[in-house]
Copies of this chain bind each other. A is one copy, B any other.
Amino acid sequence: MNFKLLEKRILEDGRCYAGGILKVDSFINHQMDPDLMMKIGEEFSRIFKNKGIDKILTIEASGIAPAIMMGAIMHLPVVFTKKKQPKTMDNMLVSNVHSFTKDRTYTVCLSADFLKKGERVVFIDDFLAYGNAARGIIDLCRQAGAEIAGMGFIIEKVFQGGGDYLKSQGIDVYSLARVKSLDNCKIELE
């Protein structure tokens, strides 16, 4: 993968914090640059165009922007899992996710109406770190009987091992930018 526009932006505008935290909240996950997000959607569309995908899955909130851009280009429905179970939602698929980055455990919920047996889905998210959100998605897809055609992330923190874990589970993983190290609060890309 070689997505120089994104890599340049991460190096220019990303900020490091102790504990392997990379903040990209001026252009990806608090303030968002929609032009960049459109290019990210185009890149994911290019990567996944021949994978026979029925649906795009993501997790609220930071996955929604790249996923909806990809969906608009590929004309595919996008479903985002919710972190709190809505009181009007029955027939739910539920899994628990622990975020080391945010140091909290949350639930990912999905109406079973929107993930069906045999559907081929791609999971899109902003970050791949330890892979715990992705594990929650794998669990939801297993519960539904849906098939994972691949996973796409804007930024992978390679040193946190989520990518290796997902590949060991036979999942095709594509990351648009791969961060090799954040040691000494310096962003080093692969």
Contacts and interface: CB of A to CB of B under 8 A. Distances in A.
Interface in A68-123: 68-69, 71-72, 75-80, 82, 86-89, 102-103, 110-111, 113-114
* Shortest Cβ-Cβ A-B pairs, 10 listed: A34-B71, A60-B61, A34-B72, A61-B61, A64-B64, A31-B114, A65-B68, A31-B79, A32-B78, A38-B72
Contacts of A38: 72
Interface stretch (A17-25, A128-136, A163-171): A17-25
Contacts of A60: 60-61
A183 interface: no
A17 B102 CA distance: 35
A33 interface: yes
B32 A77 contact: yes
A172 to B, nearest CB: 22
A190 interface: no
Contacts of A37: 68, 72
A31 B34 CA distance: 21
Given A60-B61, A103-B87, A31 B72 contact: no
Contact of A61 (B35, B64, B88, B89): B64
B113 A26 contact: yes
A30 interface: yes
B79 A32 contact: yes
Contacts of A35: 72, 75
